[in-house]
Amino acid sequence: MAELTPPVPIVALDVPTADAALALVDRLGESCTFYKVGLELFVAAGPPIVQSLRARGADVFLDLKLHDIPNTVAGAVRSAAALGARLLTVHASGGAAMLAAASEAAQGTGCGILGVTVLTSLEAPESEVLRLAALAADAGLHGVVCSGREAAAVRVRWPDDLATLVPGIRPGGAARHDQARVVTPGQAAEAGATYVVLGRAVTQAAEPREALRAIALELQSPATSGLAHLREGRKPA
């Protein structure tokens, strides 16, 4: 198994307008270069918000969770890639044909397709997450979205085939809000997450830039969280 590298932090622009999103981007400045645009912001602001972020030199994770017939999803993937999205989500539960169409449409575009397994707002057995991850791997997707609780198992099962994007990140002692399966930044790093999505822990902090820097330091030097077996390439007991 490849050596673990720190996850890439992605700040969630979960705000209702383009002005609010770009104000947050300006406030974070050079401390962040990767942003998530989800359904709320994309429905409100449309493709121009992605173009505005790209014009500022930022990478964009377009979190649209596509789930439709294969031809429709393939067309949406091509459109997202043309906008310059670096990452795009589809629901892994959409099935093998839909995932294969998404994967094929993304080939050569520079846009990585991530299969959403089970939303982190829900409780779920690890076996279901791994079942959906297997569909994503078979379709040749770039990776999957899963909680930090399952990221270690995904990494062990598909060490070179699937990136993992982990939402539901909460610093120690922080409120869970609407998330059920949460981990700390250090735990996500120890689990081998490729990307982590940071929301309210950064965006609602009194000093968002300082909050992001503190989390980035924890991602670089995670505390031992019971997942250190991954550094030795062993499966968890």
Has residue 170 got a pLDDT over 80?
no
Q: Which of 20, 44, 65, 157 is catalytic?
A: 65
Give start and end residues of each alpha helix (H) in the chain: 18-28, 39-45, 47-55, 70-83, 96-106, 126-139, 148-157, 185-190, 200-203, 208-220
Instruction: Tell me the C-alpha to C-alpha distance, in Å, between residue 17 and each of 35, 62, 79, 110, 202.
Output: 15, 16, 21, 27, 18
179 falls in which pLDDT band (50, 70, 90)? low
The number of residues in the chain equals 237
Nearest residue to 31 (alpha-carbon basis) of 217, 188, 210: 210
User: Which CATH class, in words, describes the domain spanning 8-222?
Assistant: alpha beta
3-state secondary structure of 183: strand
Torsion angles phi and psi, residue 124, rounded to 5 = -160, 145
Note the pLDDT of residue 235: 34
What are the domain boundaries of the chain?
8-222
65 is catalytic: yes
Q: Write out pLDDT tens, residues 206-231.
A: 999 999 999 999 999 765 444 443 33
Residue 166 buriedness (CB in 10 A; 0-12 / 13-18 / 19+): buried
Has residue 162 got a pLDDT over 80?
yes
Secondary structure letter of residue 230 according to DSSP: G
232 falls in which pLDDT band (50, 70, 90)? very low
